Amino acid sequence: MFKKILVANRGEIACRIIRTARSMDIATVVVASSADRDSLAARMADEVIEIGPPPAAESYLQIDRIIQAIQATGADAVHPGYGFLSENTRFAEAVVAAGAVFIGPPAPAIAAMGDKIAAKQLAGRAGVSTVPGHDAEIASAEEAVRVAADLGYPVMLKAAAGGGGKGMRIVRDESETREAFAATRREALASFADDRLFIEKFIEQPRHIEIQLLADSHGAVVHLGERECSLQRRHQKVIEESPSPFLDEATRDAMGAQACALARAVGYQSAGTVEFIVDRDRNFYFLEMNTRLQVEHPVTELVTGLDLVELMIRIAAGEALPFTQDQIRATGWAIEARLYAEDPVRGFLPSIGRLTRFRPPAEEHGQVRVDTGVSEGAEVSMFYDPMIAKLVTHGDDRKTAIDRMSDALDRFDVRGVTSNAVFLAALVNHPRFHAGELSVDFIADEFPDGFAPDRVSDSSLARLTAVAAVIHTIATSRARHIGRKILSDVDSKDSWVVRTGDTEDMMEVTRSDDSFSVKRADNTLCLSTGWRPGMHLFDAVIDGQAVCIRIAGGHGTYRLTHAGADLTLEILPPIVADLLHRMPSKPARDHSRFLLSPMPGLLVSLAVEPGVTVKAGDTLAVIEAMKMENVLRAERDGTVKTLHAAKGDSLVVDQQVIEFE
C-alpha cells in the first residue's frame, strides 16, 4: 500500500480524498494555487506545495509543477480527483514517468475515451448502442449546417475533448448552428485546449442515466448500478439519485452489461462511469465514458456502502476487487444536491465573495452527508467552479430520502454569497420530481421564465406569514421584558400586519409559553417552538408537522426560507401599516439605457461600437465567468451611444458596459 498520496486537485474533492487516505493511514500532499494556500484542503493535508497563481491554467493545469511536487515530497501515488488533469493522458504518463502510480485508469484507456469521436466509434465496435450522428470532426460552420440538415434538427454540437457539460450546445435551426459553432469552438479551446467538434442527433426529452464501474488489474469488471442525473441546467448536473425511478431491472441489467463490455474493450482499470441517454421508451444510447471519479459518486456510496475512493486506491496498488458482481447489493435510495455560489433569481449568475457564515446541516451517519471544500471565512473565487458543497441524503425509500433532503436544505445557512439552496429545495419539493417524471428539460420546462422564490402557494404563504408574526411576537416580548425574566408571558395577545410584496394580512397572535395560536382571516394555525432571538433556524411544530425555516434580518423585517420559498416579510403594528398607506412611493432608478454586467467576469468580446444600430436579439457582448461563456443580447432596438468597458476588462455585477441613446 502507498505511504504518501499527492492530491492533484482542490476544493471538495481534495478534502474527500484526504479523508479516505487518512482513514487508511496514508499521508497526503495537496498542491495549491496562491489563492488556495490557506484552504480547507491545505489545512487537512499533511503537506502543501504551492504551484502557482490563482488561474488554473497557471497552477492546477501545470503538469511540470505537479511533477516537481511529486519528486520534492516523495509521494508514491497521485490522485487527480475530477476536472483539471483527471482525464489528461499526458499527465497520467508523466506521473508514471516520475516513478509514481496514477490512481486512475491506464493512459491508453483515458486517451481512447477522452476523444469523444473515437470513443463513440469504439463503443459501436464493442456492441454498445450509440446515438445517431456524424462521428468525424466538423471543420467549418458551413459543414456543421450541412451535417445538421442531413441528421435533422435538433442536433447537438459537442467538443471532441469535452466533458463536465462544457463545450456543447443544442441547435434547432441554421442560424443557431452558425452562431453556436464559433461559440462552442471557443469554449472547447478554453476548457480543453482542443477546439475539434462533432455533431449528434439530439434526443428529445431524454433522461441522463449513468452506470458506475469498477475494474481491477486482474481482469475483474463490475458495475454498481445506475445514477439518474437528468436534473440539469445548461448541461450541468444539479441533482442526482440512485437508483433511477425510471429504469426496470431488464434495462438496468442491459445498461450494466454494455458498460462493462466497453470497459473490457479499452482495458479499463479503476473507477469509471459510462453515461447514457435514455428515451421515453427506455431505449438507451452511449453518451460518453468518464475515466475518473464522478462528482456524484456519493449517492452510489450510500446505497452500496462502498468507499469508491478507497477502492480506487486499492486497485491502483494492485489489489483485486474484494467482491463479484453477484455480491454487490444496493439498499434504499440516495439523492445528491449540488450547492453552488450562484443567484437563481438572476438567471443563476455566479456569486463570488467571502463566506461570512457557513453552517451546513448536521451530518447523520447513513442519512445525511455533507462533502465540502470550504469553511466559514473562505472566499469563493471567480477562478474556479462555484461549488460550495454537496449534500447527500439516504432513506429506505425515495420519499424518505427526499424528505431528508428538503429538511437538510432548509438547515443550510450560507451568507456572504448567494447560494442556490432555495432553488434546490424548490426542485425536491416539486410534484413532478416527487412523481419521478424527470428529463434533462425538467428545469427549462418547469421554470421557463426563471426562478421566482416569492411565488408561493396560498398554504405556504399562510404558514410563512404566521411564522413571521410569531417571530416578531417573541422578539418584541424580549424587548418589553429586558431586565426581567424574559419570554414568559402567559396568555398574551399581539396584533400585527404582515406585508410581503403586494400582500398584506392581519394576524392575531395568542401566546402561552412556547405555544402560539395565529389567527389569519378565518384560519387559525397552531404552533410550538423553542426559538429565541439570535437563532438562525426556526424549528417548530406547525399543526402537528415538524418544520425548519431559515431566518435572516430582524427589527420587523424578516427573510424566511423554507421548502423552495424565499420571502421577505415586514411586520408592523396596525396603526403604522395604516400610516404607510398614505406615504408616497419612490420610483426605481431607470437603467433602461444601459447594458449592465449581470455577473462578475471577463469581457471576452464586444460586438458593437458607438453609432451602431442594433435590433432586439442581436449579440452585444460575451462575458466569461466560472469557465463558461455568457452571451448578452439586446432586449430591444436601439443605437449605441458609448462603450463604458473594453475587451479584456474584469467586470463586477451591474457595471455599465454599453450606453444607448
Q: Which residues are catalytic?
A: 288
The strand ranges marked E within 220-290 are: 221-233, 236-242, 270-278, 284-290
Integer Cα distance of 139 and 223 in angstroms:
37
Strand segments (E) across 501-581: 503-512, 515-520, 523-529, 537-542, 545-554, 557-562, 565-572
Helix (H, G, I), strand (E, B) or coil at 314: helix
The neighbouring-strand residues paired with 515 are 512, 528
Backbone angles phi, psi at 381, to 5 degrees: -95, 155
One-letter amino acid of 41: A
Cα separation, 390 vs 413, whole angstroms? 14
Judge contact between 98 and 75, C-beta under 8 A.
Answer: no
Residues 6+ apart with CB under 8 A from 636: 616
Collapse the DSSP code of 39 into the 3-class scheme (helix H, G, I; strand E, B; otherwise coil) and give the result: coil
Which residues, listed in sequence order, are joined to residue 127 by a DSSP beta bridge?
none
E strand map for 283-404: 284-290, 333-340, 342-343, 349-350, 353-354, 357-359, 368-372, 379-380, 387-395
Which of helix, strand or coil describes residue 200? strand
Position 150: which residue type?
D
For the chain, what is the radius of gyration of the CA atoms? 27
| Parallel, antiparallel or unpaired: strands 4-7 and 77-79 | parallel
As beta bridge partners, residue 395 has: 333
Query: ∠ CA 52-55-56 to the nearest 5 degrees?
Result: 80
Cβ(342)–Cβ(348) below 8 Å: yes
| Number of neighbouring beta carbons within 10 Å of residue 258 | 21
Task: Tell me the one-letter amino acid at 185.
Answer: R
All residues at 6 or more sequence positions from 581 whose CB lies less than 8 Å from its CB, including other chains:
none
DSSP assignment string, 15-45: HHHHHHHHHTT-EEEEEEEGGGTTSHHHHHS
DSSP classification of residue 46: S
> Grid coordinates standing for 243?
437508483
Residue 130 is classified by DSSP as: B
Angle CA 178–184–187, to nearest 5: 150
